[in-house]
Amino acid sequence: MGLFNREEKKQRKRRIPATSFKMDGYREDFMDYESKFTGQPQRFGDARPVYTDLMADQDYDLLNNIYHKNGIAHKVVSKPAEDATRNGWRIIIPDDPKKQAQYQKALDDLDLKRVLCQELIYYRLHGDGYITYGIYGSGTNNATNKPLDPQIQEISKVAFVHAFGQNHVEKLIANTNPASPDYMKEAAVIISGTQSGDTVDSQGNIQSGNLSDNDKNIVIDKSRYSHISLDKLEDDSNGVSIVTRCWDQIHTLDTALYSVGKLLYAYSINVLSDDGAGDDLGFEDDPLTKQEFNLQNQALSENMGTDSVLNLHDGQTFQRYSVNVSGIDNLLLFAWQQLAAASNIPKSVLLGEQAGTLAGATTDVANYYDGVKSMQEELLRPQLERIIQLLMWSTDVAGGSEAPDTIEWKLEFNPLWTPDAKTMSEINYTDTQAEVLKVNSGIEDTDDALQNLAGQNNNLSQSMENKIDSIDDISIEDAEKMMNDLKEVIGHAKTRSPD
């Protein structure tokens, strides 16, 4: 029969890999194995790793399950998000410390460290992260689908900032025309499938929150939310999860954990060779039935322990076999290096091996923190500055509404690491010496030097942080004493400085 005369084969039903099933409640033997569902063994590594539906069309429920149940995936997702938000940020208003403290308190009341950390987790887990601004104003249309222009609409306060992911986003309205000046700019986001919270009536009965007609589709205008995407290209409707990018590496480590666990279980095996001694145990002559075989093995191993004594008969030999694990550490190291390369998180950070402060860190760890700093600047800074501007437009914050352009202010992120007392003292001394040189050179006067030293409240030492934050609690007498003490420090420094 010729090649073109072959009988057409029947189309087989496509096998759904086990890894595409949602892991609700528990999982069997880690993230693998396809053989549990097909009856046809297919081990990870026999061929090119299987691309599941997760690769083509992200299943956000599956991603959430993997994030909750796999410790490695959890760390890859959450570690940079936690590092970027852990130490927080500060608003600096050099000319008005009191107003600075009021705006800082308004920022802190919004719980932004937790909210922005959650947004970055969604950004890495789903590929997309959102925050929405709860903006209220008297006489203003507070509908979320209405554009907001604080220059012409009065804002009373920013009531909340909430983070959410891609799971309930129905559609993202954006301009995809490259010839348009608004190319890739978003106009609105549509959210569906939301549910109101449960309530309790006067009798103590819990009333479950249900979908209402008003909540089925929620439209949020771009002026009322912010959106960040991971690895999103021109024709992509959504960002790409870091779990999707690192799927093969996470799968390999998960398989390695499974394999090492099985290896440890059978690391040492005791073998008793018996040449016809089964009769002494009351069994029939060989060949033994499966049941007799199991009973014999149970009888022989029942009392095996570290203090066991074997009394061997003629025809019996005992031997202990141990698994040779030489070189397995290199295999596991390779798997971790692959994950570090795919996730852009050094192995020492993933495993928590690095000790000490950043000053003594290796180059790869320093590069990692540079990446975290870049994430702060590129993703968090525009959102935080937007929130600060909304707070400045609000009538209920810091004495009333004012245009952000009329205030000299800036946003600074707190350091990603905390220096020890010796380092802080050296930085304080260096700052003071620098101001003394400026005064001696005639670049600035003493009052300007004092103001600059007080404005160094966001450098690595943060020496004046407590003083600025608690300015409302300092009396005039204490403030004058602080000023005299600073003048005395500068005076002593002048006498020690070379001419």
Distance CA 349, CA 337 (A): 12
pLDDT more than 70, % of the chain = 66
Mean pLDDT value of segment 173-200: 81
Mean pLDDT value of segment 8-20: 42
Q: What share of the chain is helix, strand, coil (3-state, %, to 5)?
A: 45, 15, 40
pLDDT category at 353 given cuts 50, 70, 90 is low
pLDDT of 124: 95
* pLDDT per residue as tens digits for the range 94-112: 888 889 999 999 999 999 9
State the DSSP code for 21: S
pLDDT of 137: 76
Number of H helices, E strands in the chain: 17, 12
More confident residue, 326 or 16: 326
The answer on pLDDT for 34 being more than 50 is: no
Distance CA 277, CA 317 (A): 11
Quote the mean pLDDT of the chain. Answer: 75
Phi, psi of 437 (to 5 degrees): -60, -40
The answer on pLDDT for 292 being more than 80 is: no
Q: Are 208 and 198 in contact (CB under 8 A)?
A: yes
Please return the burial class of 253, using the count of CB atoms within 10 Å of its CB with bins 0-12, 13-18 and 19+: buried
More confident residue, 499 or 404: 404
CA-CA-CA-CA torsion for 408, 414, 420, 426, nearest 10 degrees? -30
pLDDT category at 298 given cuts 50, 70, 90 is confident
pLDDT category at 288 given cuts 50, 70, 90 is low
Query: How many CB atoms are located within 10 Å of the residue 58 CB?
Result: 21
The answer on pLDDT for 245 being more than 70 is: yes
DSSP conformation letters of 187-254 = EEEEEES--PPPEE-TTS-EE-----TTTSEEEEEGGGEEEEESS--TT-SS---HHHHTHHHHHHHH
Contacts of 107 (CB under 8 A, 6+ apart): 89, 91, 384, 387, 388, 391
Please return the burial class of 321, using the count of CB atoms within 10 Å of its CB with bins 0-12, 13-18 and 19+: exposed
pLDDT of 393: 92
In angstroms and rounded to an integer, the radius of gyration of the C-alpha atoms of the chain is: 33
Query: Is residue 94 classed as helix, strand or coil in its secondary structure?
Result: coil
pLDDT category at 227 given cuts 50, 70, 90 is very high
Q: Which residues pair with 269 in a beta bridge?
A: 321
The answer on pLDDT for 443 being more than 70 is: yes
State the DSSP code for 166: S
Query: Is residue 83 classed as helix, strand or coil in its secondary structure?
Result: helix
Which range among 184-198, 202-216, 323-337 has the greatest average pLDDT?
323-337
pLDDT of 471: 44
* pLDDT per residue as tens digits for the range 446-499: 877 777 776 554 444 343 333 334 444 455 666 666 677 667 766 666 665 555
pLDDT of 85: 94
Contacts of 47 (CB under 8 A, 6+ apart): none
pLDDT of 494: 61
Mean pLDDT value of segment 304-312: 67
pLDDT of 420: 60
The answer on pLDDT for 55 being more than 70 is: no
DSSP conformation letters of 388-455 = HHHHHHBTTSTTS---GGGS--EEEEPPSS---HHHHHHHHHHHHHHHHHHHHTTSS-HHHHHHHHHT
75-89, 194-208, 250-264, 279-293: segment of lowest average pLDDT: 279-293
pLDDT category at 412 given cuts 50, 70, 90 is very high
